[in-house]
Chain A
Amino acid sequence: MNKKAFAAILALLLTLALLVGCGQAAPATPTPVPDSGDTPAVETPAPVQSGRAASNEIVIGIAQDLDSLDPHHMTAAGTQEVMFNVFEGLVKPNAAGQIVPAVASEVQVSEDGLTYTFTLREGVRFHNGEPVDMEDVVYSLTRRMDGADAAAKNVALDVISDVQTEDDRLILTLSEPSGDFLAYLMNVYIIPMDYEDLETHPIGTGPYKFVSRAVQDNLVLERFADYWGEGGKVDKVTYKILENNEGLVLGLQSGALDLVNHMTSEQTSQLSASDFHVEQGSMNLVQALYLNSGVAPFDDVRVRQALCYATDKQAMIDLAFDGYGIPLGTSMFPSFSKYYDDSLTDYYPHDVAKAKALLAEAGYPNGFEMSITVPSNYSPHVNTAEVLAEQLKEVGIQVKILPVEWNSWLSDVYTNRQFQSTVIGLESNNMTARKLLDRFASTAANNFTNYSNPEYDEILARAISSVDDAEQTEAYRQLERILTETAANVYLQDMADLVAVRNGLNGLTFYPIYVLDVSTLYWG
């Protein structure tokens, strides 16, 4: 009897355990779970497509949460990439790298380059349905100009000396000519005047409007029907935040995600061609071994040049990036075709003998020890540093790699300049050549490499104030050449941007800045 009772209890408990499981799992079946078909994906397109294609929505995987929903407070490139679809300035960038009118319909610049006149576009509405009027524009502009809100202030706008309005026209007067002024206005996103809930429910004028957000998990956008322009094609866009890289790959394979950008070739190789196609663009950043010219031995130009000769960038790209990536020789990338000088790329061919000779000349015949600080969460940079360490060993330089948290990198390397060298990619978030070059001015606050060269400073000042385009372009090209000749840094590559896109989803457009335009995407 006892044996039976024991068996009965056991059976009951196990059944209960099973029931718990089934009880939870049961409701899953009736809900339309995409990708639940059991036909092999090779024969028929994955059912995922029909599911989300039918409801005309997409899910995009991103690696980090947004740093702020307030468009004037966001600084992370990853946030900009997403919110580009929600906010617009008076002008905005297009895929060709031009600055085109957005909330303004027309921009006029006076001959002397000191007066900018913007005509407000008719019929532009905020996502809450309110029309955009001049008050909103002036409010948005001044919020970024004055220092009342420390995080929102943009020092590049200090050049504005006067703001006037005249009916539907905004007239800005500059204290000195600024060839890149419009580029700096792109990030002056237009928001409703005195709107209080930007941080939790942002309102802009872009083709997609904010719907909801779960911190560190997801962000949902919806097509804005009253958009002044052509607008988006997909009705609903969900951004899913998955911090670990394996998660992004798994999410694509499982059908949870339709599109992920900034992938590595190793990741994309895990995806099946019957479900995904991979599109290749460029990240538009300058990846380099940035050298702290303020400390020995990198204060000696010969040592820096020796490092350049010792480095084989193509071999590094082949090894760490499976050959994806465009070798660079200066602080400029090919998307800026106007300013890019390709002849600088191979200025320092791989030459171990020359590197050794230069080192000997500089007083280091047996090489030296150095450290490369890398942000540990960016595996491409870590991998790059590892390959460089091997290459530099050939000329007798012993490299110690110091992986640090991103926060430490920002404070120790970028702000306090306590480092010898670092591998990082620097971008231009407003499509100007100036952004890439002005950090090497000896007095620039963001000149973390301590590069100092009076000739460079002089040409840069001339370039910035120039209103003659040809003259400015020429000056920028000169600056690039100086950076190469003085081996300011060991320039490596413009990293490839590999985007995995679910088959059936089309229209992906690459921009020369770090944005992902979802309004061009469509199923079909």
Chain B
Amino acid sequence: MNYVIRRILMLLLTMLIVSFLTFLAFELVSGDVAQTKLGTEGTPEQVAALRHELGLDQPFLLRYGQWLGGFFTGDLGVSYYNPQPMWELIGPKLGVTLILAAISFLLITLISIPLGLLSYRLAGSPLDGLRTAFNQLCMAVPPFFIGILFSWFFGITLKLFIPEGFPSSIRANPGEAMTQLFFAAVCLSIPRIAMTVRMMRSTVIGEMQKAYVRTAISRGNDRRGVLLRHVLKNSLTGTVTFLAQTLAELIGGSIVVEQVFGIPGLGRFLVAEIRALDYPVVQTIVVILAFWVVLAGTVADLINQRIDPRLRLGGAK
């Protein structure tokens, strides 16, 4: 119970700080949305009138207070450009990004854990050098670059999907949409898979040198049995934490990948809205992202507690 309360408080605090910093960033950045909206045609009087209409002529803290008040009463504000309800605007984009993140996460988990164990088995063999080099390469190549390669190879050459041709909505052509999301997810996953594999490998190697492994083996268990029955479980807490981090970072990575593939997700939307100085939308997206990150950490904690009962006591090693 105590834990849940602590988590919720932390969530609120994170969202508060993040939203305040975002608000502040927009205050400090030069440019004025009223001016931007009216462009080169607006007269100074029109700009002033529009600033008033949008409430931009009020002091900074008052505006933040109003936004916060609105947020806690379920009013997320209205976009300066698109006056439909905030959720109608953000919902479809969030959906796309969630699917992208889910596919990526599934790929990362399902591929990196077995691969991590396998790569431990390679330690010391001549293939190991090759594996290390390949792993380094996968970690070093940024997703956007893999994205460009994928667009050319799988899109233009093999015609498995149409680069920049994401359907006008997922429902309009679910096949094409999901194919694009799958390839984007693979791009997003490759570096994270490489990182997770490396991380697992070193954890397993460290774990295999521990006394309990020696004891288990000296009692007649074979290495593989020990690996799967004991070492895997003991290596998992670190991996789960790492995967939770991954889940949080996937959102950040999706901003780039969505740009490359032309996928209408939350990340691409965020970039466009920042450029348009559309604070109400940016604020909402930032809060969603903060929520996402804290949630990922919480889920990791909960899973780790199931794996390792010692963690349930709250802090003991």
Q: A16, B110: Cβ atoms under 8 Å?
A: yes
Q: A27, B83: Cβ atoms under 8 Å?
A: no
Q: B173, A31: Cβ atoms under 8 Å?
A: yes
Taken together as a complex, chains A and B put the C-alpha atoms of A21 and B228 apart, in Å, by 27
A9 and B114 contact, Cβ closer than 8 Å, known pairs A25-B182, A240-B164, A256-B164: yes
Q: Does A242 contact B (CB under 8 A)?
A: yes
Q: Does B299 contact A (CB under 8 A)?
A: no
Given A240-B164, A411-B30: 20 more A-B contacts, CB < 8 Å: A5-B228, A13-B114, A14-B114, A20-B110, A31-B173, A65-B272, A147-B49, A199-B83, A199-B84, A214-B168, A216-B268, A217-B166, A217-B168, A220-B168, A251-B164, A255-B165, A256-B162, A408-B31, A410-B32, A410-B40
Q: B161, A28: Cβ atoms under 8 Å?
A: yes
Taken together as a complex, chains A and B put the C-alpha atoms of A303 and B144 apart, in Å, by 47
List 14 A–B pairs whose Cβ atoms lie within 8 Å, in order of A's numbering: A13-B113, A17-B107, A20-B106, A150-B49, A215-B82, A215-B89, A216-B273, A243-B271, A254-B164, A407-B33, A407-B275, A411-B32, A415-B47, A445-B44
User: Which residues of the other chain, B, contact A414 by a CB distance below 8 angstroms?
Assistant: 40
**Chain B residues within CB distance 8 Å of chain A:** 29-33, 35-44, 46-47, 49-50, 52-53, 81-84, 89, 92, 103, 106-107, 110-111, 113-114, 117-118, 148, 151, 155-156, 159-166, 168-169, 173-176, 178-179, 181-182, 186, 222, 224-225, 227-228, 259, 262, 264, 268-269, 271-273, 275-277
Q: Residue on A with the closest CB to B51?
A: A150
Taken together as a complex, chains A and B put the C-alpha atoms of A130 and B64 apart, in Å, by 44
Taken together as a complex, chains A and B put the C-alpha atoms of A26 and B174 apart, in Å, by 10
Instruction: Looking at the assembled complex, report how far the CB atom of B107 sits from the nearest CB atom of chain A, in whole angstroms.
Output: 6
Q: A257, B178: Cβ atoms under 8 Å?
A: no
Interface residues in A1-47 by Cβ distance below 8 A to B read 2-3, 5-6, 9-10, 13-14, 16-17, 20-21, 24-31, 33-36, 38
Instruction: Looking at the assembled complex, report how far the CB atom of A413 sits from the nearest CB atom of chain B, in whole angstroms.
Output: 10
Q: B30, A10: Cβ atoms under 8 Å?
A: no
Interface residues in A334-362 by Cβ distance below 8 A to B read none
Q: B224, A3: Cβ atoms under 8 Å?
A: yes
**Chain A residues within CB distance 8 Å of chain B:** 2-3, 5-6, 9-10, 13-14, 16-17, 20-21, 24-31, 33-36, 38, 61, 65, 67-68, 73, 75-76, 147, 150-151, 153, 155, 199-200, 212, 214-218, 220, 238, 240, 242-244, 246-248, 250-251, 253-257, 405-408, 410-412, 414-415, 426, 429, 445-446
Q: A251, B165: Cβ atoms under 8 Å?
A: yes
Q: A216, B264: Cβ atoms under 8 Å?
A: yes
Which of B43, B83, B262 has the most chain A CB atoms inside 10 A of its CB? B262
Which of B37, B103, B222 has the most chain A CB atoms inside 10 A of its CB? B37
A153 and B162 contact, Cβ closer than 8 Å, known pairs A254-B156, A407-B32: no
A254 contact from B30, B163, B186, B275, Cβ within 8 A: B163
Instruction: Looking at the assembled complex, report how far the CB atom of A293 sits from the nearest CB atom of chain B, in whole angstroms.
Output: 18
User: Which residues of the other chain, B, contact A36 by a CB distance below 8 angstroms?
Assistant: 159
Q: B44, A28: Cβ atoms under 8 Å?
A: no
Taken together as a complex, chains A and B put the C-alpha atoms of A242 and B271 apart, in Å, by 12
User: Which residues of the other chain, B, contact A240 by a CB distance below 8 angstroms?
Assistant: 164-165, 262
A216 contact from B53, B227, B269, Cβ within 8 A: B269
Q: B259, A13: Cβ atoms under 8 Å?
A: no
Q: A24, B165: Cβ atoms under 8 Å?
A: no
A20 contact from B103, B113, B276, Cβ within 8 A: B103
Instruction: Looking at the assembled complex, report how far the CB atom of A356 sits from the nearest CB atom of chain B, in whole angstroms.
Output: 35
User: Which residues of the other chain, A, contact B43 by a CB distance below 8 angstroms?
Assistant: 155, 445-446
Instruction: Looking at the assembled complex, report how far the CB atom of B189 sits from the nearest CB atom of chain A, in whole angstroms.
Output: 10
Q: A212, B168: Cβ atoms under 8 Å?
A: yes
Q: Residue on B with the closest CB to A147?
A: B49
B31 contact from A20, A28, A153, A405, Cβ within 8 A: A405
Q: A29, B107: Cβ atoms under 8 Å?
A: no
Instruction: Looking at the assembled complex, report how far the CB atom of A491 sits from the nearest CB atom of chain B, in whole angstroms.
Output: 18
A75 and B39 contact, Cβ closer than 8 Å, known pairs A14-B114, A24-B103, A31-B175: yes
Q: Residue on B with the closest CB to A48?
A: B162
Q: B225, A28: Cβ atoms under 8 Å?
A: no
Taken together as a complex, chains A and B put the C-alpha atoms of A243 and B37 apart, in Å, by 18
Taken together as a complex, chains A and B put the C-alpha atoms of A155 and B41 apart, in Å, by 10
User: Which residues of the other chain, B, contact A76 by a CB distance below 8 angstroms?
Assistant: 39
User: Which residues of the other chain, A, contact B227 by a CB distance below 8 angstroms?
Assistant: 6
Q: B114, A10: Cβ atoms under 8 Å?
A: yes
Q: B92, A214: Cβ atoms under 8 Å?
A: yes
Q: B161, A2: Cβ atoms under 8 Å?
A: no
User: Which residues of the other chain, A, contact B225 by a CB distance below 8 angstroms?
Assistant: 2
A31 and B169 contact, Cβ closer than 8 Å, known pairs A215-B269, A255-B162, A410-B36: no
Q: A407, B162: Cβ atoms under 8 Å?
A: no
Taken together as a complex, chains A and B put the C-alpha atoms of A407 and B33 apart, in Å, by 8
A242 and B228 contact, Cβ closer than 8 Å, known pairs A10-B114, A76-B39, A150-B46: no
Q: B272, A216: Cβ atoms under 8 Å?
A: yes
A2 and B46 contact, Cβ closer than 8 Å, known pairs A29-B175, A243-B272, A244-B259: no
Interchain residue pairs A-B with the least CB separation, the first 6: A407-B31, A256-B165, A251-B164, A150-B49, A27-B175, A217-B264
Q: Residue on A with the closest CB to B110?
A: A17
Instruction: Looking at the assembled complex, report how far the CB atom of B245 sits from the nearest CB atom of chain A, in whole angstroms.
Output: 21
Instruction: Looking at the assembled complex, report how far the CB atom of A239 sits from the nearest CB atom of chain B, in whole angstroms.
Output: 10
Taken together as a complex, chains A and B put the C-alpha atoms of A5 and B225 apart, in Å, by 10
Q: B40, A242: Cβ atoms under 8 Å?
A: no
Q: B159, A28: Cβ atoms under 8 Å?
A: no
Taken together as a complex, chains A and B put the C-alpha atoms of A254 and B162 apart, in Å, by 6
Q: A150, B53: Cβ atoms under 8 Å?
A: yes
Q: B111, A30: Cβ atoms under 8 Å?
A: no
Q: B31, A410: Cβ atoms under 8 Å?
A: yes
Q: B168, A218: Cβ atoms under 8 Å?
A: yes
